[in-house]
Amino acid sequence: MHVLLVGPASSGQLYPQAARRLGMRVTVITTGRDVYALPDDVREFIDDIRFVGTLSAAELRATSRQVHRERPVHAVVAGDEFTVPATATIAADLGVDGIDPADAQVVRDKSAMRARLHAAGVRAPAFVVASSPAEAADAGETVGFPCVIKPSGMVGTIGVRRADSREDLIDGYRRIADETLPVAGRLPDSTVVVEQYLRGQEFSAEGYVRQGQATILAITEKCLGPEPYFQQQGHIVRPAQDVPGHEAVADHLEQVTKALGLTTGAFHAEYRVTDEGPTLIEIGARMAGDHIAEMVETVTGLSLAQASLAAAAGVPCPAPATPAAAVAGIHFVTEPRLAGRSHTGLRGWEEALRLPGVHDARIAIPAGRPIPDRQDMRSRIGHLMFTAATYDDAVRLRRTLADRISVVG
């Protein structure tokens, strides 16, 4: 069994080891640069690496055809959010199972995604597409205030903010259009979505689709920073069946995946629980980042990467192992007051590492390096991962971490 992995980054770099555990041969196509650099502990599970100059659809397609001629490919998997459309095209080109390329384009475009859901009668925020500051301001009058403005094709809450007035929308649009900090070598374009503000707790569902049937393995509770931004400052992950209301979430996401044509592979679905029930914010045809995919395996005993690969290749899904913990979580250290400046250290960091349950930590922005002037994933200074015996214990531990660690300016 031969799997082709396109541009693995973030959680996509879990796929090589997962494929090896399934007895699959792994070929990777990648630029090998920036977020697509392959660490040694990932490379050791890769049988063949094909480096390309860019992740353009044409270059990826030509390289995949060459790989397939040399050794037939049985499954093609997207390694991150940005390679989903190209991966779908490659799968169709090689004649293997995959999402229809037209559906993959819809999933990548937030406005097209919402339009498809509305057409299918699936609950989703009201929205308007805008391509200028004036159009964005007018969209707020149509959608109603408060509302949310966001780029149509970015990730990690980049450019996303709540707007309470026409002036907020104009400012939000200009910030998106003037963005200079690229993610995966990309910047937001000038098309934005202005959508209904959903009131309610935010979650994400982590799962996979096999032969058109969606399975949710775990649900992640989002710990968001203060509005008007939606910076994700922590996550708490539990097995889906342990989260109240999971049956309604499963029903809603079954409608979502069918409406969008998600027939195979992993998904990461963000939603809010409103008075009307779970309502999709957006869904990605890939695994979640922020170490959520690892935490899914911690609390369920099943690797989402393995389950997704098995679905794509049409082989049996492995049986879950005994979960390592009942609940898993992550806390991100942030300090908006130092945006655009650097810090001199983290007070309480070493003490936090010794707290029971904390098992992994990393500093992403070391002392002396400027903190990006953006309240999204790029300005998170560090993280600490933890496990707990109960949900309440996990909530308390994350609050303790937030209270004990402070950023010194």
pLDDT in tens, 277-318: 999 999 999 999 999 999 999 999 999 999 999 999 999 999
pLDDT at 187 over 90: no
Instruction: Using only the alpha carbons of the chain, give its radius of gyration.
Output: 21
Measured from the Cβ of residue 123, the count of other Cβ atoms closer than 10 Å reads: 16
For the chain, domains (ranges, CATH) are 2-96 (3.40.50.20), 126-196 (3.30.1490.20), 201-408 (3.30.470.20)
| Banded model confidence at residue 184, pLDDT cuts 50, 70, 90 | confident
pLDDT at 188 over 90: no
pLDDT at 247 over 80: yes
Is residue 331 within 8 Å of 386, Cβ to Cβ? yes
> How large is the average pLDDT for residues 27-36?
96
Percentage of the chain beyond pLDDT 90 is: 95
Rounded to an integer, what distance in angstroms lies between the CA atom of residue 358 and that of residue 346?
17
> How large is the average pLDDT for residues 56-71?
96
pLDDT in tens, 72-129: 999 999 999 999 999 999 999 999 999 999 999 999 999 999 999 999 999 999 999 9
| pLDDT for res 363 | 98
| Banded model confidence at residue 162, pLDDT cuts 50, 70, 90 | very high
pLDDT in tens, 221-232: 999 999 999 999
Could you tell me which residues are beta bridge partners of residue 117?
Answer: none
How far CA 148 is from CA of 36, 196, 389, in Å, comes to: 30, 6, 36
Percentage of the chain beyond pLDDT 70 is: 100
Mean pLDDT for the chain overall: 96
Look at phi and psi of residue 291 and say left if phi exceeds 0, alpha if psi is from -120 to 50, else beta.
left
Q: What predicted TM-score, i.e. pTM, was given to this entire model? A: 0.96
pLDDT at 181 over 80: no
225 phi and psi angles, rounded to 5 deg:
-75, 180
Rounded to an integer, what distance in angstroms lies between the CA atom of residue 242 and that of residue 38?
35
Residues composing the chain: 409
